[in-house]
Chain A
Amino acid sequence: MSRTDAERRLRGLLEKGLPLTPRPWQTLAAQAGMSEDEALACARRWQDDGLIKRMGLVVRHRRLGMAANAMVVWDIADKRVSEVGRALAAEPAVTLCYRRPRRLPDWPYNLFCMIHGVRRERVLAELRAIIERQALANTAHQVLFSQHAYRQHGARYTREETT
């Protein structure tokens, strides 16, 4: 097996998480067809080059009672959208912030951010404070709270995992 194949297999295995055994990398390395040291070196390289953005426990917030999950969508003037996006991302309550395309006439919003909380009232209070701080009172936006999760799990990118 080539090095590339082994690395691709390791990535697919990692998407499902580390086994809960004393030597988890040894287990995954054996399944991918490489040594434990090679698997660790791979993971460190992926961390360094940003393919892995964090390594740790992936919490299911809804299960813990973080049930108020708001996606806030904004219609920001195109020339200001990056600047506003950076400002929103710096707000502690904002967990994700992305610029996305408008799809006129169906969809006029070009900036998305997420605010998670225990209760809707608290999330809305946070949002009001953010609107005040960022002077967004005259900016069209909508708040889309999640009502039900039909599916919530980590992304699987590798071809074997997606069928």
Chain B
Amino acid sequence: MPNQMHAQRRRPGPGKLDPGELDALDRRLLDTYQRGLPVVAEPYRALAERLHTTEDEILNRLARLHALGVISRAGPVFDHARAGASLLAAVAANDDERDAVAAKINRAPGVNHNYLRDAARGFNLWFVMTAPDEAELEARLEALEQRLGRAVLRLPMLESFHIDLAFPLPWDELDRHAVAEGA
């Protein structure tokens, strides 16, 4: 691919945002508040004070980050193991049927994080299913197996060593990669 370093920034690849769309304050918001959003009556005012800006500015920024698809929400992340029943599951699907199988999985209640992955032992569709309790979870899995006409590999969590999904964003690498791609 020709070097695009000096070219004007182009549109990013499908599903990706040009990190150039996010300025220094956006980045500080994302770096500072993936955790530690204060549980107070006026949380956005508290963020504004810490970041030396106004509450209106913070609310506008968060609304824009949400509209851009950079954040899915501001709020709590519940502990899967304590918030209800949850399970990592996998099924094996051939290339020609996997979109249809994935669509059926998506339609099942309680499914989130449904991914196509490189196959291991033939299992290439990986999803998390949640339910209010174990009995409901098992009922949902059995119903899904009926609809799919195949077995679902059930891999419940037995022990959690690390359950924090927040991590620092590698802004330099994201910027470099976007420029290299001509994003």
Interface residues of A (CB under 8 A from B): 11, 14-18, 20-26, 36, 40, 43-44, 46-47, 50-67, 69, 71, 73, 82, 85-86, 88-89, 94-101, 103, 106-109, 112-113, 116-119, 122, 142-159, 162-163
Contact = CB atoms under 8 A, between A and B. Distances in A.
B40 interface: yes
Contacts of B115: 69, 146-150, 152
Contacts, number: 280
B62 to A, nearest CB: 5
A54 B77 contact: yes
A107 B78 contact: no
Contacts of A108: 121
A53 B163 contact: yes
B5 interface: no
B131 A162 contact: yes
A128 B169 CA distance: 21
Contact of A106 (B37, B130, B153): B153
A63 B162 CA distance: 23
A64 B70 contact: yes
A53 B84 contact: no
A147 B31 CA distance: 26
A158 B132 CA distance: 6
B96 interface: no
Given A71-B126, A118-B170, A157-B78, A60 B153 contact: no
Interface residues of B, number: 90
A22 B59 contact: yes
A56 B74 contact: yes
Most chain A CB within 10 A, of B37, B70, B76, B170, is at B76
A85 B82 CA distance: 20
A146 B70 contact: no
Nearest to A92: B167
Interface string B137-173: 0000000000000000111111111111111011001
Contacts of A145: 117-118
Nearest 7 A/B pairs, CB to CB = A17-B73, A157-B84, A89-B162, A89-B161, A17-B75, A99-B159, A144-B117
A148 B30 CA distance: 24
B156 A57 contact: no
A60 B69 contact: yes
B41 to A, nearest CB: 6
A20 B66 contact: yes
B169 A64 contact: yes
Nearest to A146: B115
Interface in B86-132: 86, 88, 102-103, 105-106, 109-121, 123, 125-128, 130-132
Contact of B164 (A53, A66, A88): A53
A134 to B, nearest CB: 13
A108 B120 CA distance: 10
Contacts of B119: 144
Contacts of B169: 59, 61, 64, 66
